[in-house]
């Protein structure tokens, strides 16, 4: 797909992870968390530019890190907003004037693969918006207080993740629906649905999980250590 760019959102505070460091800047295998997904998109031949969205107080750190590395494509750094959709808007608005497709990815998902990106881009032939998802394997139930209620048919639900693919112009228009929602949208596909667009689905990978809690970070460190050992022939 031509004229495709990626926006990596690394502007969240990450309060559930603990500490004062924004989540996407927490070290993983010796690099800031966002650097892992940045490298993945940089390696994909369809991506021609990456926009990294960061907190205002960490833009100098991000810029120094990016400038100290060698990248295949240009990496632009912009400052995020108060809510996620505001940060994403800043990132999408900073893409090139002739950008047609934009992929939006959480900087706290370090294990996005080339195969996931390929599967998502393939959906551009059919949809103006597509999300990555994985099947739900756990038993899911409603609850109220401390009481467990009805079971949800897990065959009818999926776990939505990122990256997500958008027609850039349609997404920019869809941001206008953000203020009409009762709560800030949890992803931009919700805005596209509000604007009347159908959202397609591409199958992702359970390993492309979001680092949210300390246990997630421990698991991610173990995965990185195992992959490094395999590369070294261990």
CATH number, domain with residue 67: 3.90.550.10
Rounded to whole angstroms, the Cα distance separating 49 from 114 reads 16
**Can you spell out the DSSP letters for 138-173?**
S-EEEEETTEEEEEE-GGG-EEEEEEEEEEHHHHHH
Note whether 21 and 62 are within 8 A (CB).
no
Rounded to whole angstroms, the Cα distance separating 105 from 94 reads 15
Segment-wise mean pLDDT, segments of 10 residues, the chain, 234 residues: 92 68 91 97 98 95 96 97 94 97 97 97 96 95 95 95 97 92 91 95 96 94 94 76
- Does pTM top 0.85 for this prediction? yes
What pLDDT, on a 0 to 100 scale, did the predictor assign at position 23?
A: 87
What pLDDT, on a 0 to 100 scale, did the predictor assign at position 233?
A: 77
What pLDDT, on a 0 to 100 scale, did the predictor assign at position 14?
A: 64
Burial 113-140 (b: 16+ CB within 10 A, else e): eeebbebbbebbeebbbbbbbbeeeeee
What pLDDT, on a 0 to 100 scale, did the predictor assign at position 16?
A: 61
What pLDDT, on a 0 to 100 scale, did the predictor assign at position 161?
A: 96
Structural domain total, the chain: 1
**Can you spell out the DSSP letters for 116-137?**
HHHHHHHGGGT-SEEEEEEE--
- Name the residue range of residue 202's domain: 4-231
What pLDDT, on a 0 to 100 scale, did the predictor assign at position 19?
A: 67
């Amino acid at each position: 797909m031509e004229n495709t760019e990626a926006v990596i959102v690394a502007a969240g505070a990450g309060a559930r992870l603990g500490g004062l460091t924004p989540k996407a800047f927490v070290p993983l295998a010796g690099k800031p968390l966002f650097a892992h997904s940045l490298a993945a998109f940089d390696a994909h031949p369809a991506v021609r530019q990456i926009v990294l969205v960061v907190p205002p107080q960490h833009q100098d750190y991000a810029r120094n890190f990016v400038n100290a590395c060698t990248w295949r494509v240009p990496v632009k750094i912009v400052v995020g907003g108060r809510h996620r959709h505001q940060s994403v808007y800043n990132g999408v608005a900073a893409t090139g004037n002739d950008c047609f497709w934009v992929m939006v990815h959480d900087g706290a998902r370090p294990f996005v693969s080339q195969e996931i990106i390929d599967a998502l881009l393939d959906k551009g032939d059919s949809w103006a918006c597509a999300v990555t998802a994985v099947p739900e394997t756990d038993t899911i139930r409603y609850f109220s207080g401390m009481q467990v209620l009805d079971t949800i048919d897990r065959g009818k639900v999926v776990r939505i993740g990122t990256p997500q693919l958008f027609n850039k112009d349609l997404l920019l228009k869809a941001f206008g629906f953000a203020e009409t929602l009762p709560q800030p949208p949890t992803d931009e596909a919700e805005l596209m649905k509000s604007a009347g667009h159908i959202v397609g689905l591409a199958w992702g990978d359970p390993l492309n999980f979001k680092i949210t809690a300390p246990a997630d970070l421990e698991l991610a460190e173990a995965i990185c250590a195992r992959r490094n050992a395999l590369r070294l022939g261990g």
